Copies of this chain bind each other. A is one copy, B any other.
Amino acid sequence: MEESAEHRHSGSGKMQLGLSVSDSDVSSFTPLVVLELADDTKAEAISWLLNRIRDKQQNGGAELLVNQLLFPAQDDQKSNPNVFVVGSTLQRLLNGAEDVGLFKEFQDGTMRGFTYANRESFKDFNGDGEGFLSDAECQYIIKHELDTLRAKNEEHVPGYPKLKLYPGKSVVRRLQSKGVLIQYFPLHNKEDLKRLSFSWYKKFKLSFQPLDDIRHYFGEGLALYFGFLEYFTFALVPMALIGIPYYLFDWEDYDKYVLFAVFNLVWSTVFLEVWKRCSATLAYGWGTLCRKKAFEEPRAGFHGALGLNPVTGREEPVYPSSKRQLRIYLVSVPFVLLCLYLSFYVMMVYFDMEFWAINTYHENPNIATSILLFVPSIIYAVVIEIMNLLYRYAAEFLTEWENHRLESSFQNHLVLKVLVFNFVNCFASLFYIAFVMQNMVLLRQSLATLLITSQILNQVMEAFLPYWLQRRRNKKVHKRMRRLMGDKELPLLGQVQLETEMNTYLGTFDDYLEQFLLFGYVSLFSCVYPLAAVLVVLNNITEVYSDAFKMCHVFKRPFSEPAANIGVWQLAFETMSLIAVVTNCALIGLSPQVKAYFPESDTQLILIVVAIEHVLLAFKFILAFVIPDVPKHIQVKLAKLEFDSLEALKKRKTLEDTET
């Protein structure tokens, strides 16, 4: 067994001779991905896994290069000996690019599915193809090849009789869900990172973000998030510009907000429709728009009794969907309802505090009590954030426990749970103040405090806290490394050591969620507090910088994730903009300015407002239907691609017919 682990690169025995050897030895290929196994993994399992990774594709292997990293023995703290770096030959990567269905720019400027046979016809392919694939793409390909390394006839993982393997199922996912494989993540590329972070957030001039570079380094999913963030911020600028004079000149005149509400209505509809087109343009240029979705594998955490998969006809763990439904309806739904009730209860406590503060102020108006006026809102805002955070963990735990088979279904259930609660938690008090209490002064004050407090909290929680923790950790690691190795330069070992201990970036979920709530504040109630848009613009500008910083220096590099759009969030934002139409119409109906037109009859006013609201809703649907989701010039390119592939198919068929 020991031999096979040594058969290609240096085994552990040789490595411990000299550190410099292991470091130079590893660099016989460019390490792209780090693989960390549990430190008590049995040797036979390790050598079996490495063999499978190195084995030829014909034999069902991944045909990748893999090497063990050995850290010097330490007296105070034991490093994990089972850390591996994975790389690949260029030829293997190009073949892998075809496997994953990568789209690249063709000579004629259109995007086409890459095939190894036609490689010379792609635009940036020079020589042997060095530099044709970006780092992120290479790492994505390696991840794909590792994920699709499938069990053959092995009954179980060598050395672990209980860790059963099912033919045709992913080995890596199985190891991961059983805790043998702790993590695998892509390495940063220090050169590129330096260049990217300079053009992204280090130079002090206002400019667009380098979206293409971000996409090259972090992949399409993240680049789309930053594109959306930028687009959203720019879209808010006109609203902010209108908001400032409103704020300056009508501070005490709550009646003038009708015009602003109308603007809100139109803006929130157009905003999302235009984004769809922008996102399609971006995704086309990045080659993800026409890329087909791969067949979805079960999640790593999915478990169940052995059964027949009706689709593939193979034996694998299955979990009856009726059981899952029971869990959802008997546990998850009641839990969410309970949380909503709790949130309402907290809201009521807040209103009690608020009235107490107002009464205190009226009894004894001075500076101290006027500051006291803001205290309940601030406390409430903090409590809201804490509740959101706690709920977030609970929702993740519950959704995990529901045992969804596919990642997409897991994500949908998680997003739904979190969105419903966050929406109610953040906006219930505002709705209550606006429509039950009909107190516009309190609404304005409450909105401002909620917005400002949550923004400050978010920036702290999201960027500064992790950064501070990371710096402390970095220093410790540096110290440890220096003590051990003296002045010897071991860049790779150090880098891997550092990055292994960095926090994992958990995806764009929380970032989108934050933008979703900000969008809610702006589109629902900004007509009564026109400065909201200004605050959100300011927040988002700092958000770009803090998010960029956290991606580059606080978190592990994430695997690139091909994305053609912002997915379920488009739907979430559209739902919010529907609610915004209803809310703004209702606010218009409540305004004294409008009421003045119907002095004798409330009924007529309500009927007219409802009629207008219905017309607006219908108009919104028609608009969404009429505006094509994909711009014309991209539609033409997509049609051209389809036409060409049909023609090629026809030609091939004719050729085959004449051959036979």
Contact = CB atoms under 8 A, between A and B. Distances in A.
Interface of A: 57-58, 295, 310-313, 582, 602-603, 606-607, 610, 614, 636, 639-640, 642-643, 646, 654, 657-658
Contact of A295 (B312, B602, B643, B658): B643
Given A58-B658, A646-B295, A639 B607 contact: no
Nearest to A602: B603
A358 B25 CA distance: 103
A422 to B, nearest CB: 18
Given A310-B640, A311-B640, A606-B607, 8 more contacts: A58-B658, A295-B643, A310-B636, A311-B639, A312-B640, A312-B643, A313-B640, A606-B606
Nearest to A294: B646
Contacts of A654: 57-58
Contacts of A636: 310-311
Contacts of A610: 606, 610
Contacts of A607: 606
Q: Is the interface of A mostly helix, strand, loop or mixed?
A: helix
10 contacts: A57-B654, A58-B657, A58-B658, A295-B642, A311-B640, A312-B643, A582-B614, A602-B603, A603-B603, A603-B606
A310 B607 CA distance: 51
Of residues A312, A610, A658, which shows the largest number of chain B Cβ atoms within 10 Å of its Cβ?
A610
Contacts of A313: 640
A607 B435 CA distance: 12
A313 B295 CA distance: 34
A311 B644 CA distance: 9
Contacts of A606: 603, 606-607, 610
Contacts of A582: 614
Contacts of A657: 57-58
Contacts of A643: 295, 311-312
Contacts of A603: 602-603, 606
A126 B95 CA distance: 42
A642 B295 CA distance: 8
A184 to B, nearest CB: 24
